[in-house]
Structure 1
Amino acid sequence: MSPQHHSQTQRILDLLSQRGLLRPSDLDAIGASRVTLARMTDAGLLEKVDRGLYRLADQDHSENDSLITVATKVPQAVFCLLTALQFHDLTTQLPREIWIAMPRGSHVPKIDYPPIKMVQVTGDAYAAGIEIFQRDGVPLRIYGVARTVVDCFKHRNKIGIDVALEALRDARAQKKASADDLWRYAKICRVANVMRPYLEAIE
């Protein structure tokens, strides 16, 4: 291995140790070539996760891998509904797809894996309740507990009213969402009238 190739390999490894995932476009900032990326993949040092997305081959696979992949490829995506419930430990469901929210008018992201389910959200409702969690150096944008519970009622026809009720009961029982926060997001998402009887019943 030439000194130059060795140096580029080390820079790529250093960057991956900080960020977890790498795109070919990231190489420009560290002065490494795409040829080096291909050689490292062929040598088994790197693993291709998806089109244009790489990680260390010996990296431990965490339960957040799918979320990290989506967040890296679609930075504006906000994880919502069943995916957010699972992240917040508020459901017994194991969703087959990753649920994301995107601004109205967005196209479904082209990602080979994991499978995506997208809901479109308008105006102020899109930004309301986003929380950011760092995983392997990648920021995950996820709706908080109260917002997620409200979304479950908003999209009850997609995921089932039973899932929404379970999420509401668990969020209140575990003190993860206050009644005030639930009311606030219910109004923002225009679902207050739907939630009113359920919220009053558990107060």
Structure 2
Amino acid sequence: MSNKQHILRLGKEQNGVITSKMVTDLGYSRKALSQLEDEKLIFRVERGIYVMASNYVDHYLIIQQRLPQGIFSHETALYLLGYTESAPEIIHMTFPRGFNTSRAKKVQVQPIIASNELTTGITSIERSNHAAIKVYEIERTLIDLLKSKYKADKELLMSALKQYIRSDACNIAKLNDYARLFKLEAKIQPYLEILL
């Protein structure tokens, strides 16, 4: 089996995404990627990231590959977690302090810089072809939408909260724990009083 065939097999195993790092880690030359691109078997998404022509590649998976430090958050997390049916017009991701936001903006991602607790509440969800992406769990997402520096759509927030409270996943204690952690107890209580 040739290097190019090995790389294509790797791409199939990686849900249609191939990175130059994966190729060099296997000891292959990056020249094989250029040859595969010339043959139109793969397409370059960004420097060092390619997708296979024969695969459907999930947009969110590509973004996660391009911005591995980011966690899908806010309205985007609501959508990915199934708490709203409409795909977000703007994709939101949360990044650590010091992240170069121009990289995110280049791929049409609205970056949010975490002031603290970046890693608290991260979960992964399975997308197409069993690929996983990082997203904040629903309780963290609902509380993040209440932060004053973030202007959330109140109707969307109320709808998501209603759906959450009616769901089997509802855990008011956990929601309140996040509210305490981010000092937003006073903001969540009026919503809970209406909905409970």
Query: Which amino acid is the alignment partner of residue 48 of structure 1?
Result: R
Tell me the TM-score normalized by structure 1: 0.85
Offset of residue 88 of structure 1: 1.2
**Secondary structure at the counterpart of residue 145 of structure 2:** helix
Matched, 1:133 2:128: no
Corresponding pairs, count: 194
Which residue of 41, 44, 50 maps to 1:48?
A: 44
In structure 2, how many angstroms separate the alpha carbons of the residues matched to 1:48 and 1:133? 25
- Cα 1:53–1:118, aligned 2, differ >3 Å: closer, same or farther? same
Query: Which amino acid is the alignment partner of residue 91 of structure 1?
Result: T
* Aligned equivalent of 1:178: 171
Which residue of 154, 164, 167 maps to 2:147?
A: 154
- Cα 1:100–1:166, aligned 2, differ >3 Å: closer, same or farther? same
Matched, 1:9 2:1: no
Matched, 1:193 2:186: yes
Which residue of 89, 100, 107 maps to 2:100?
A: 107
Any gaps of 5 or more consecutive residues in structure 2? Answer: none
RMSD: 2.1
Query: Which amino acid is the alignment partner of residue 116 of structure 1?
Result: V
Offset of residue 94 of structure 1: 2.6
Offset of residue 31 of structure 1: 2.2
* Aligned equivalent of 1:3: none
Native 8 Å contact 2:104 2:110 kept in 1: no
Q: Which moved more, 1:155-164 or 1:127-136?
A: 155-164
**Secondary structure at the counterpart of residue 101 of structure 2:** coil
Query: Which amino acid is the alignment partner of residue 18 of structure 2?
Result: L
Any gaps of 5 or more consecutive residues in structure 1? Answer: 1-5
- Cα 1:105–1:191, aligned 2, differ >3 Å: closer, same or farther? farther
More helix by proportion, 1 or 2?
1
**Secondary structure at the counterpart of residue 28 of structure 2:** coil
